[in-house]
Structure 1
Amino acid sequence: MRQKLDDTVLDAVFRDARSYNGYTDQPVAESELHAIWDLMKWGPTSANQLPARLIWVTSDEAKQKLADACSAQNQPKILNAPVSVIIGMDTNFHEHLPELFPHADAKSWFDGNAELREASAFRNSTLQGAYFIIAARMLGLDTGPMSGFDAGKVDAAFFHNTPAVRTNFISTLGHGDPATIYARSPRPDFAKFNSIA
């Protein structure tokens, strides 16, 4: 039986965690990127689809290409972050299901149904993006997930060799600089946005 995690963990992952607009000069090692993946990959997706395809943007050249596809507000965030991550979604994820979900002929559920693959890829890669944020926080790193980019330009720059893969969203990654965060925005209590049926 699972035990409730203590408040230190809950604070680090949710209550005290923030989305950062800038980072300290402390670098992020490649081993930390592997560690994030090795944790987030265990998060559940429908039929173990795992449609997220991540590009870890670390070089100055790649940062500039990504920044060129972003809004003016987001460009300096990309250029100054130690790492940015493109969370893409593979609409041909079903090709891997014989390996990833051997319990059933899950590939056949998606063969010839592009609309279903699109919806599943978006839903489950979004879940994986959330797992990325949680994994990074649990490993002592901070993130800055964002919209504010031209998905077509990002796809052309980074997924041109894999046309079935398209951008879902982007996040920066590093050791957050507290001077770059806004005052904490409010969160509603249970009754405002929830109901029990």
Structure 2
Amino acid sequence: MTADAGTQKRPLEPDALDQLFLSARTHISFLPRPIPPGTMKTLYALLRMAPTAQNCQPARFVFVVSPEAKERLLPCVMAGNRPKVESAPVTVIVATDTRFYDQLPRLWHDPNARETYAKAPKLAHDTAFRSSCLQGAYLIMAARALGLDCGPMSGFDPGAVNDAMLDEYPGWEVNFLCNIGYGDPSTVYPRAGRLDFDNACRVI
């Protein structure tokens, strides 16, 4: 049931918070267990609700699943990261559509929004990058909410990924990669420390 405007929302139960945040880890290898059919569409249905500037939704997602596509991606990835990609049932190329503003007439109420970005390349670039990062973060949280594990990573040649994997999608440029599946807990590194509130936060 959809909550009415102003209805007090209840905090998630501790088990849900634990799954999404506290016990969730960045996985470096995955079990040989396929992701159920339809999961990628369910993932996108959730992550597309991420907040983006003027509802611009600049992120694009390429789900690399087939062995042939994996073979094209692997040479673009640093040697140390290749086993991560090989073991994951799905590697998501989180990309940014540099011409995201072409979609604004159907996404935003201001008829001048498209031209605002089309005439200001730096504004368009900065807006697209920030908002696609938000959408990529929502991908991770959506995957965790569905019981999957994630391994977001850098460690790749952006130009090579763009040429090998995104060439048929004009204007799309890789932001980061995210391996998704059922993580192998035996290969997870011990959890590193986190900054405490006093180190990372100020209340002013």
Q: Would the aligned equivalents of 1:143 and 1:174 in 2 still touch at CA under 8 Å?
A: yes
Aligned pairs for 1:22-61 within 5 A? 22-61=29-68
Distance 1:103 1:113 in 2: 16
Q: What's 2:20 paired with?
A: 13
Q: What's the TM-score, normalizing by structure 2?
A: 0.93
Name the amino acid aligned to 2:25: R
- Give 1:6 deviation, angstroms: 1.4
Residue of 83, 86, 95 corresponding to 2:93: 86
1:193 aligns with 2:182: no
Distance 2:187 2:111 in 1: 48
Aligned pairs for 1:9-158 within 5 A? 9-103=16-110, 105-158=112-165
Q: Would the aligned equivalents of 1:60 and 1:79 in 2 still touch at CA under 8 Å?
A: no
Name the amino acid aligned to 1:90: D
User: What percent of counterpart residues are identical?
Assistant: 39
Q: Would the aligned equivalents of 1:40 and 1:132 in 2 still touch at CA under 8 Å?
A: yes
Q: Would the aligned equivalents of 2:77 and 2:155 in 1 still touch at CA under 8 Å?
A: yes
Distance 2:116 2:21 in 1: 36
Counterpart of 2:180 in 1: which secondary structure? strand
- Give 1:182 deviation, angstroms: 0.3
- Give 1:113 deviation, angstroms: 1.2
Q: Would the aligned equivalents of 1:56 and 1:83 in 2 still touch at CA under 8 Å?
A: yes
Counterpart of 2:44 in 1: which secondary structure? helix
Name the amino acid aligned to 2:61: L
Counterpart of 2:79 in 1: which secondary structure? coil
How many pairs are equivalent?
197
CA RMSD of aligned residues (A): 1.1
- Give 1:107 deviation, angstroms: 1.3
Distance 2:23 2:15 in 1: 10
Distance 1:55 1:174 in 2: 15
Which shows bigger deviation, 108-117 or 89-98? 108-117
Name the amino acid aligned to 1:177: D
Alpha-carbon spacing, 1:191–1:104, altered in 2? closer, same or farther (3 Å): farther
Counterpart of 2:164 in 1: which secondary structure? helix
